[in-house]
Amino acid sequence: MFFLTILFIGFVACKTNTHIIVDNMGQSKSNEDNADSADSRLRIRIGSKTFTATLLENETASAFKARLPITVAMSDLNGNEKLYNFSGNMPVNSSKPGTIRTGDLMLYGAGTLVLFYKTFSTQYSYTKLGRIDDASGLAAAVGSGNVTVTFEPE
């Protein structure tokens, strides 16, 4: 039985396509966090401030891109995120990220767009869409209440 367990674990490990990459800040991230295609670029406008973001190459991000450009009223939740509820559902592939980082753009459930403006730990599941390339000034731009945000292809 022990031999079969080891064989099974080895087989599953060989089937995994995720590679770990260490960025220039010394943080590791999986290849699912990477998207280098020009089609994956996004502009996010909040008031007079504009941020650029990189979307992942997954089914959910593709469904999100198909809705662009959009301008939405996002409400504040917990003093660390802005959210918007789409009228329809999108495909999901949720997982528990453990740590949310400032600038993460994710989908909660099948229809709630979430833009995180603070870093914190979480036990909730999300589907990753992408992240803002340089999130400095994001918290100040979104403020503490509801905010209007425009998402458009770059």
Tell me the β-bridge partners of 115. 82, 105
The answer to whether residue 86 is domain-embedded is yes
The answer to whether residue 22 is domain-embedded is no
pLDDT digits (tens, 9 = 90+) for 104-113: 999 999 999 9
CATH at 82:
2.40.100.20
The answer to whether residue 56 is domain-embedded is yes
The answer to whether residue 17 is domain-embedded is no
The answer to whether residue 116 is domain-embedded is yes
The answer to whether residue 11 is domain-embedded is no
User: What domain range is 77 assigned to?
Assistant: 40-153
In the structure encoding, which two tokens stand for residue 58, read together?
A: 């997954």
Angle at 97 between CA 95 and CA 102, to 5 degrees: 135
Helix/strand/coil for 122: coil
pLDDT digits (tens, 9 = 90+) for 46-66: 999 999 999 999 999 999 999
Do residues 22 and 34 make contact, with C-beta atoms less than 8 angstroms apart? no
Q: Domains in the chain: how many in total?
A: 1
pTM of the model: 0.75
The answer to whether residue 145 is domain-embedded is yes
